[in-house]
A and B are shown apart, each in its own frame.
Chain A
Amino acid sequence: GAGVSQSPRYKVTKRGQDVALRCDPISGHVSLYWYRQALGQGPEFLTYFNYEAQQDKSGLPNDRFSAERPEGSISTLTIQRTEQRDSAMYRCASSLRGGHETQYFGPGTRLLVL
């Protein structure tokens, strides 16, 4: 079946612009996670949802970052007033349920802030 999809795959923006990154989880998956991955590093947790409820946003770097999942399916990660340090690969993952369930990762969105 279809895996986790993310769009756009690449995003180039100018400093100060807002960007919205989309994640479409595996159908029926309750939990959805956002991670950020620097080159050569493992993914770093940002936030996660169970259904439409944001359970943990402790990994969001600052208040320019926000995420939503209004209908418990597709999620959007928004970065306002982007800065060059925001440049990274943003990855989404989903799992059937929370807890000790396998997290399946999407292909990621490569963000470049000029």
Chain B
Amino acid sequence: GESVGLHLPTLSVQEGDNSIINCAYSNSASDYFIWYKQESGKGPQFIIDIRSNMDKRQGQRVTVLLNKTVKHLSLQIAATQPGDSAVYFCAENRGYAGNMLTFGGGTRLMVKP
């Protein structure tokens, strides 16, 4: 069925390296995408979002890329730090379906010191 999914369930990187977390979506009607970070025992924390009329958006140490042609979303984290270790979820908002978010299954990022 239509869903938001992730290619890699676990990503292990060395501290200081750049991280790339990928996400595929299948609904071409989705027009808003969000990345959340979830640390153990906490609720999802907003990282960055992007609307479908954009290809790239940058934040502090994070960049989200959207490729609508292949329905692919990625989160790039520059100079990954131990504090970045968490589970990362991408989520989509299908504008026609209201305000609910549809989440993928998550990717666990592990940063090695």
Residues in chain A within 8 A of chain B (CB atoms): 4, 31, 33, 35, 40-45, 48, 55-56, 59, 91, 93, 95, 98-108
Contacts and interface: CB of A to CB of B under 8 A. Distances in A.
Interface SS of chain B: strand
Contacts, number: 65
Interface string B76-113: 00000000000001010101001111111110000000
A35 B91 CA distance: 13
B100 A45 contact: yes
Contact of B105 (A40, A59, A100, A101): A40
Interface of B: 4, 31-32, 34, 36, 42-46, 49, 51, 89, 91, 93, 95, 98-106
Contacts of B42: 107
Nearest to A59: B100
Contacts of B34: 102-103
Given A41-B105, A42-B104, A91 B99 contact: no
